[in-house]
Amino acid sequence: MARAATTADAFNAVAEPRRRQILDLLVGGERPVNDLVAQLGLAQPQVSKHLRVLREVGAVDVREDGRRRLYRLNGKALKPIHDWVHEYERLWSERFDELDAVLKGLEQKEEDDGSDE
Amino acid sequence: MARAATTADAFNAVAEPRRRQILDLLVGGERPVNDLVAQLGLAQPQVSKHLRVLREVGAVDVREDGRRRLYRLNGKALKPIHDWVHEYERLWSERFDELDAVLKGLEQKEEDDGSDE
DNA sequence: CAATCATATACCGATATCGGAATATGTCAA
DNA sequence: TTGACATATTCCGATATCGGTATATGATTG
């Protein structure tokens, strides 16, 4: 066995920085491949390959327009990532840090009061 | 060149489902390796290896306790993932879907009015 | 129809991974 | 000190990747 395919998951697909860049560019709206090639400074075949991966995980959709292909973002594919990482937000949010402090204070108080646990 | 190292990034580290599971378990608090081994149903060496990766990207910290090692979550390492994916939230949120519809309506209107762009 | 433009695919070599198995390191207990 | 326990490291083979280069496919223009 080796590492999971890049097309296995949105997680795997998006682990590659270039692919994140591509998605970031597509936030601005539909773009033909050549636009992306120009903006990324990458060779055209590499861009097409990255787009294929993004297509396979559903993060982008394509539309034909004459001899060019217009790629468009489909952000829903990223929702699982958002949902997962969202659970960890409290670990760096100051607001929650304060809440944690309060809760710890309460625990301490209960321990001082003695009894079980 | 090959795929980026799993230790290159939080993105790469977390692309592996087992490592996400480990982090999920550590949300419940500090745990020794053997606890994780039991809960994951994985072989001990694999768990140690996954933990190493998570350590190298700063997602967990270790503390020695006799002959065992207690691993603890350090969620701050996941913030870049959260920050990145957060930008895409509007793409699946219904509230923002409605906003998009409104904006598209406005665009349409301007196009109908003609003129440049 | 030929030439050109836009994009996708195929092939290559190098590399880092993953799980499995064996083993090393280090601590505690009798 | 010997043995049991807890964890980390090393070696293995298989595999999927990435960038580069060459080429295929397909649409448009002259």
Give the CATH number of domain A10-76; options: 3.40.190.10, 3.40.720.10, 1.10.10.10, 3.80.30.20.
1.10.10.10
Contact assessment for residue A77 and residue A10, using Cβ atoms and an 8 Å cutoff: yes
Beta bridge partners of A60: A73
Domain assignments of chain B as residue spans, ordered by start: 10-75, 87-113
Number of CB pairs < 8 Å for A and B? Answer: 78
**pLDDT-based confidence at A97, cuts 50/70/90?**
low
Give the pLDDT mean for B65-83: 96
So what's the pLDDT on residue A2? 82
In sequence order, which residues have a C-beta less than 8 Å from that of residue A17 and are 6 or more positions away? B4, B9, B11
CA distance A39 to chain B (A): 19
Cα gap B6→B10, rounded to integer Å: 8
State, as a whole number of angstroms, the distance between the CA of B65 and the C1' of C30: 21
The architecture CATH gives domain B10-75 = Orthogonal Bundle (1.10)
| Inter-chain residue contact B16 with A23, CB threshold 8 Å | no
**pLDDT-based confidence at B99, cuts 50/70/90?**
low
CA distance B111 to chain A (A): 17
